[in-house]
Structures are given as C-alpha cells and as structure tokens.
C-alpha cells in the first residue's frame, strides 16, 4: 500500500528528563528554537532545508501556533500542522509529517515538543488557575461534559480512569498485578542504563513495585509515570533529503490513528482500547504483522497501558497479556525488547514530549545509536502513542531503510 516516497526520521534531539529541573527557565518558543537547532544538526540539515512544521500546544499562544513558531524560527514552510492528541501528540505529529512528505507537499519537516518549565509570570492574572494542577486531562470549562458529569464525582485527571480500566480488565480476565509489576521493573532496568532517564542507575525490583503505595486500586505508585521536565524534537525527510543525513534513515512505513471517546466512562468495552484499530491500520499500511516486529516502543503512562497495547495490537489474545508477559523478558538483551530506553515509567514524563521519547528510542535503535543497550539485527519497530485515558491512539511502523 501507499507510495514509494516514504518520509523518514533522519535526526532527533532529546533533552535529559529530570525530576527537579534547576536550570534556566525559558519560554516554549525559545525551547522550540533550541530543539530545532539540535535536531537539525543531528540530521545534517540546515534551517533553510525545512519546509514543513508540526506543533503541539504552546503556553505562549492559544491560537495560530504554527505561524507563531514559523515567524520565531525565521523559516517559511509549505506545510504546517497543529496536533492536539495528549500523549499521542508526538506520534500523531510524526505520521502527519510523514504523510505530507509521501504526498510530495514538502521535503523536510520539523516536529518539536518543549517540556522545560517556563519563567514564573510576575502577573498573577496570567497564571493558570490552581485547579489546572489537579484537572490533568479533564476539562472543567462550562459546557464540557466532564465539568458536568465527571468532575463532581472526583473522576478527574488520569489515575482513576486508568485504575477503572485496569479493575474492569481484572474483573473479567483475572489479576494482572505481577505482569504489571514486571513491566515497571524491567523497564526500570533498561532506564538504569539510559543516562537521559530520570531513573538512570536507579533500578527497582518487582517486589518493590508490588510494595509501593496504592494510589487507585489496583494501580500502585511505581506503575504510574512521574511528571518531569525535558523536551524532544524529530526531523523527517524525503528520500532525496535523507541522503544528507549521516544516519540510517528510519522510514515511517505504516501509521494508524483512532479516537473513540474522551472519558472511558463511555467506552463501548473498557477492556478494548483504540490501540486495536490504530495498530491494525498501521500494520496493513506497512504490509507487515506483529510477529515481524524486532522492537516495541509502547506508550506507557501506566503499566496497564502497555499490557492492553500488547493485546490490542495483536501480540496475544485479549485477556492473555499476563501469561504472555510471564514468559518474556522486555529488556534490551531479552527475547522481547520493549521500551529499551526505560519507557516513560523509567525515563519520566516530560509533558507532551514524553510522547516523542518512544519514537526517538525506536529510531535510535534502528539507526544503531543505542550504545550499551543496542538491540542487534534490528529492522522493524512498532511505536505507539496514547492520549488522555486511552482516548486517542496512534500506531507507527518504523523500518530501517
């Protein structure tokens, strides 16, 4: 399916993800510029090569985000997108960029998601309201169904929603507690080898995960991502422009997206996520199958997200995830490498930029740049992005050219 002209990842920038950032604070536009410079240098391309741009939300602009970034960077483009898919924003940016290149709309697309703290605003009227801190992905604006039918019950942000998905799953298919703890512990083992990770050199055991405090049953503290500071950017290029990059181009050969609900209260089946539709589309477009994947880089805001993603992407039947994981080792040198950078459970979650860390790790591995955690004989990877509470989903197939 599709055309021969594939968009490929040719360079990236990934800032260290840190729990307590004490460096200089900069506006997101300033961070955009830094990330663009680093990613373009990595790709062996110059600013004037860029003719496409994909943005996520900016604190400095509620509207006209791409034009604001274009002007700030000083580089006109022929293709601009604004993506609003929560944790799936990063992967959603990449397939839009790749599709634009496939269509011949542009040749070099820059995607960046800043995630460092911005300067403290001296004017209190410009600060976000205190409730913004606990609302998370929930809208409390008048007229929002969540403001009327979720917030009054305390079903806000992400923990309770993911916990209710996990509880429903366990009520139907049995406990997956040990499998979830295994995901966390094995990813932390990989993060211990990743100097960019907040948990570098800080592994945890399966028993430590099981002993961590209960937050929302059945989910425990060490099954939940830690909010961090960071930032990431990716440069995609057409086959002609990719020749200028010093790296093995990593083509995006398949992509799929699925949105079904905002709040899982209204999911048709709480145990089946939009991953199923997104991954099926991505595999079909790439003409490949789950069995052909050498590496998985799966969005992991919670442990349960990884387990459900494995099932819904077709690696094992629904309900069989725990048994499937019990026989596998997710580490870089294991038989089933998943999130070899540590995932967000091991790296930390630098806001929306967390959704670019999975595709960047897959690209790093496919380019052969993963150093001590390099997976050998690597050609194909599945990458996923999850937004909200399993409410928006993107799947990508990455292949080394």
Partner 1 sequence: MTETLLAPLAPKMTPTSTPFWAALGEGRVVLQQCDGCEAWVFYPRPRCPHCLSPALSWKPVSGRATLTTWTHCPRPTAPPFTGLAPQTLAVVTLEEGVRMSTFLLETAGRTLELGMALSPRFVPTEDGTATLLAFAPA
Site residues, partner 1 (CB under 8 A): 134-135, 140-145, 147-157, 159-160, 163-165, 167-168, 171-172, 213-218, 263-266, 270
Phi-psi region of 128 (alpha: psi -120 to 50; beta: other; left: phi over 0): beta
CA distance 349 to 227: 5
**Nearest approach, Cβ of 304 to partner 1 (angstroms)?**
12
Query: Angle at the Cα of 123 (from 122 to 129), degrees rounded to 5?
Result: 110
- Nearer Cβ to partner 1 (41/221): 221
**Nearest approach, Cβ of 164 to partner 1 (angstroms)?**
4
- Nearer Cβ to partner 1 (99/157): 157
- Nearer Cβ to partner 1 (128/246): 128
Q: Are 10 and 245 in contact (CB under 8 A)?
A: yes
CA distance 189 to 183: 10
**Nearest approach, Cβ of 347 to partner 1 (angstroms)?**
25
Instruction: Tell me how many helices (H) and strands (E) the chain has.
Output: 14, 11
**Nearest approach, Cβ of 261 to partner 1 (angstroms)?**
10
Q: Are 101 and 11 in contact (CB under 8 A)?
A: no
3-state helix, strand and coil shares in percent for the chain, rounded to the nearest 5: 40, 20, 40
Instruction: Please give the C-alpha separations between residue 223 and each of 176, 180, 291, 304, in angstroms, as whole numbers.
Output: 12, 7, 27, 8
CA distance 47 to 18: 28
3-state secondary structure of 359: helix
């Amino acid at each position: 399916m599709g055309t021969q002209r594939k968009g490929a990842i040719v360079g990236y920038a990934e800032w260290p993800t840190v729990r307590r950032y004490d460096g200089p604070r900069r506006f997101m536009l300033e961070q955009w510029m830094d990330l663009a410079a680093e990613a373009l240098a990595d790709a062996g391309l110059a600013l004037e090569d860029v003719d496409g741009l994909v943005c996520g939300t900016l604190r400095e602009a509620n509207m006209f985000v791409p034009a604001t970034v274009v002007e700030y960077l000083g580089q006109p483009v022929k293709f601009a997108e604004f993506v609003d898919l929560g944790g799936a924003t990063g992967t959603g940016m990449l397939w839009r960029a790749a599709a634009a290149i496939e269509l011949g709309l542009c040749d070099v697309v820059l995607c960046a998601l800043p995630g460092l703290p911005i300067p403290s605003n001296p004017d209190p009227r410009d600060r976000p309201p205190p409730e913004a801190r606990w609302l998370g992905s929930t809208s409390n604006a008048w007229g929002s169904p969540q403001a009327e039918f979720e917030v009054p019950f305390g079903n806000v942000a992400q923990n309770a929603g993911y916990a209710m998905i996990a509880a429903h799953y366990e009520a139907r298919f049995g406990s997956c507690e040990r499998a979830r703890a295994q995901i966390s512990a094995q990813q932390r083992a990989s993060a211990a080898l990743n100097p960019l990770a907040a948990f570098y050199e800080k592994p945890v055991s399966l028993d430590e995960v099981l002993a961590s405090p209960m937050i929302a049953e059945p989910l425990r503290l060490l099954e939940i991502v830690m909010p961090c500071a960071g930032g990431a950017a990716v440069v995609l290029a057409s086959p002609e422009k990719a020749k200028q990059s010093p790296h093995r181009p990593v083509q995006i050969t398949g992509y799929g997206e699925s949105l079904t609900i905002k709040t899982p209260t209204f999911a048709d089946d709480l145990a089946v996520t939009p991953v199923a539709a997104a991954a099926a589309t991505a595999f079909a477009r790439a003409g490949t199958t789950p069995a052909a994947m050498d590496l998985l880089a799966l969005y992991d805001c919670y442990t349960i997200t990884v387990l459900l993603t494995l099932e819904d992407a077709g690696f094992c039947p629904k309900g069989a995830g725990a048994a499937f994981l019990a026989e596998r080792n997710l580490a870089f040198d294991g038989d089933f490498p998943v999130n070899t950078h540590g995932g967000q459970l091991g790296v930390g979650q630098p806001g929306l930029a967390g959704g670019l860390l999975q595709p960047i790790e897959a690209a790093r591995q496919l380019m052969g740049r993963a150093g001590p955690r390099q997976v050998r004989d690597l050609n194909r990877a599945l990458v996923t992005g999850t937004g909200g509470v399993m409410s928006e989903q993107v799947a990508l197939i990455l292949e080394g050219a």
